[in-house]
């Protein structure tokens, strides 16, 4: 890690403080409808920009295929890329993203250097801002970052107005309305709402639309709105399936465990716990394991990384929505290649990868095929 001693000390203190805070209960109806309206869905964006649909389709086909070596002129250009990811968590999405990105860049022959910075999820934005400033001191050609809280928007907006470096926003596929006319170079990830609806359909089928459930949000911000609030919205027409409790967990496993223990005291008859992220799901599983009479309560994962797939194989997790993970890293590499070839007009504004629903009891051969596709560059153990 390339942190100064002072920055590292500050990160440790904030992480310890955050872990000491209790999970935050959410009142019914809370959680950011206004924030959701700040974004355009893929369908909304493509209605405004109809040429984008064909661009996205052609680009997606390129991503799914084997890499083609770039022309000599593009390979000779030396580029620098700064990557700031919330990769210090159980989910291996971010680590696999980097591995797949590097592998595809190597496959197509680009000459690059990557400065990597990993933080905890929901870490104090001031640390991330310091890391961005540190990365900008290296004059990168591209900056890869994510966007979860409102303050991230202010940081990124200052950069995209400068036009350099070109910004790739990870784990977000919904362009900001406020940035129309001056968007980042690329939004890349997996449509949170699409994945959430798959899980909602699963739970509706299992419960027949009756009973109660608990919801564990991530932190206050984009992911919770897109995965959490969209889940509630998906169940809106099923009044017999009621939300018994909801908590913000900051993506922290221990906070999630404590939240579920509290939920079980007040609503022991819930049918399932909807978790917005991997670490959150494992906190819920921890709580259920230490409580009696909870075997019937279902828990989902979100993303389908290695830890979730192992939990499903072991019977600890009931279902997850699995991202075809490595395609996000491939998409970033191909977008950069097109840019270096002066073909940036072929880069869509949004790349959104595909999902597969994985349930407990899946045939091992089917799961192996899914892993081979999803982790085609990053392998089984990145």
pLDDT of residue 87: 54
pLDDT of residue 322: 98
Q: Are residues 184 and 212 in the same domain?
A: no
The whole domain housing 268 covers 193-302
Q: Say which residues have a Cβ less than 8 Å from residue 331's Cβ, sequence separation at least 6.
A: 59, 63, 186, 188, 351, 353
Q: Are residues 167 and 247 in the same domain?
A: no
Question: Does 213 reside within a domain?
Answer: yes
Q: How many CB atoms lie within 10 A of CB 87?
A: 20
Tokens 């500050």 sit on residue? 10
pLDDT of residue 198: 98
Q: Is the pLDDT of residue 21 over 50?
A: no
Q: Are residues 173 and 75 in the same domain?
A: yes
Q: Are residues 68 and 82 in the same domain?
A: yes
Question: Does 74 reside within a domain?
Answer: yes
Strand, helix or coil at 338?
helix
Q: Is the pLDDT of residue 381 over 60?
A: no
Question: Does 47 reside within a domain?
Answer: yes
Q: Are residues 156 and 228 in the same domain?
A: no
Question: Does 32 reside within a domain?
Answer: no
Give 375's Cβ-side CA count (13 Å radius): 22
| Pairing mode of beta strands 24-25, 241-248 | antiparallel
Q: Are residues 198 and 336 in the same domain?
A: no
Question: Does 130 reside within a domain?
Answer: yes
pLDDT of residue 24: 62
Question: Does 232 reside within a domain?
Answer: yes
Q: Are residues 168 and 98 in the same domain?
A: yes
Q: How confident is the model at residue 83 (pLDDT cuts 50, 70, 90)?
A: very high
Question: Does 3 reside within a domain?
Answer: no
Q: How confident is the model at residue 26 (pLDDT cuts 50, 70, 90)?
A: low
Q: Are residues 50 and 173 in the same domain?
A: yes
Q: Is the pLDDT of residue 162 over 70?
A: yes
Q: Are residues 49 and 180 in the same domain?
A: yes
Q: Is the pLDDT of residue 14 over 90?
A: no
Report residue 198 as tokens.
């798959």
pLDDT of residue 172: 94
pLDDT of residue 125: 66
- Cβ 333 vs Cβ 317: under 8 Å: no
Percent pLDDT > 70 in the chain is 86
pLDDT digits (tens, 9 = 90+) for 132-152: 888 888 899 999 998 766 667
The predicted model gives 254-281 an average pLDDT of 97
CATH number, residue 197: 3.40.50.2300
Q: Are residues 49 and 185 in the same domain?
A: yes
Q: Are residues 88 and 146 in the same domain?
A: yes
Last residue of a domain, one of 241, 269, 302: 302
Q: Is the pLDDT of residue 220 over 60?
A: yes
DSSP bridge pairs for 186:
168
The predicted model gives 311-323 an average pLDDT of 97
Question: Does 227 reside within a domain?
Answer: yes
- How many structural domains are present in the chain? 2
- Cβ 141 vs Cβ 110: under 8 Å: no
Q: How many CB atoms lie within 10 A of CB 365?
A: 8
| Pairing mode of beta strands 78-85, 24-25 | unpaired
Q: Are residues 185 and 48 in the same domain?
A: yes
Residues 186, 338: Cα–Cα separation, whole Å:
12
Direct distance between the N- and C-terminal alpha carbons of the chain, in angstroms, rounded to an integer: 18
């Amino acid at each position: 890690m390339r942190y100064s001693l002072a920055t590292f000390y500050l990160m440790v203190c904030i992480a310890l403080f955050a872990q000491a805070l209790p999970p935050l209960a959410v009142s019914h109806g809370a959680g950011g409808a206004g924030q959701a309206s700040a974004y355009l869905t893929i369908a909304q964006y493509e209605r405004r920009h109809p040429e984008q649909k064909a661009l996205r389709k052609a680009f997606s086909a390129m991503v799914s295929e084997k890499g083609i070596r770039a022309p000599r002129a593009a390979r000779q250009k030396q580029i620098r890329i700064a990557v700031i990811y919330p990769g210090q968590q159980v989910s291996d999405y971010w680590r696999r993203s980097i591995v797949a990105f590097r592998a595809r860049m190597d496959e197509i022959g680009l000459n690059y250097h990557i400065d990597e910075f990993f933080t905890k999820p929901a870490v104090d934005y001031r640390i991330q801002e310091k890391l961005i400033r540190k990365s900008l001191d290296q004059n990168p050609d591209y900056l890869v970052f994510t966007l979860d809280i409102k303050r991230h928007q202010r940081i990124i907006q200052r950069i995209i107005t400068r036009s350099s470096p070109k910004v790739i926003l990870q784990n977000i596929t919904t362009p900001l309305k406020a940035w129309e006319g001056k968007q980042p170079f690329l939004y890349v990830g997996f449509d949170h709402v699409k994945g959430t609806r798959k899980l909602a359909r699963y739970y509706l089928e299992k419960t027949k639309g009756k009973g109660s459930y608990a919801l564990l949000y991530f932190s206050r911000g984009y992911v919770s709105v897109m995965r959490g609030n969209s889940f509630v919205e998906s169940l809106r027409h099923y009044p017999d399936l009621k939300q018994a409790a909801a908590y913000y967990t900051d993506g922290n496993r221990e906070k999630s465990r404590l939240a579920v223990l509290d939920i079980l005291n007040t609503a022991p008859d819930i049918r399932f716990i909807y978790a917005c992220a991997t670490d959150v799901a494992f906190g819920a599983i921890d709580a259920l394991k230490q409580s009696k009479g909870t075997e019937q309560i279902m828990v989902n994962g979100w993303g389908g990384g290695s830890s979730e797939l192992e939990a499903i194989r072991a019977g600890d997790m009931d279902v997850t929505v699995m991202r075809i993970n490595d395609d996000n890293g491939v998409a970033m590499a191909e977008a950069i290649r097109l840019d270096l070839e002066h073909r940036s007009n072929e880069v869509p504004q949004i790349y959104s990868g595909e999902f597969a629903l994985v349930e407990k009891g899946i045939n091992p051969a089917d799961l192996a095929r899914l892993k081979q596709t999803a982790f085609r560059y990053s392998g089984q153990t990145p």
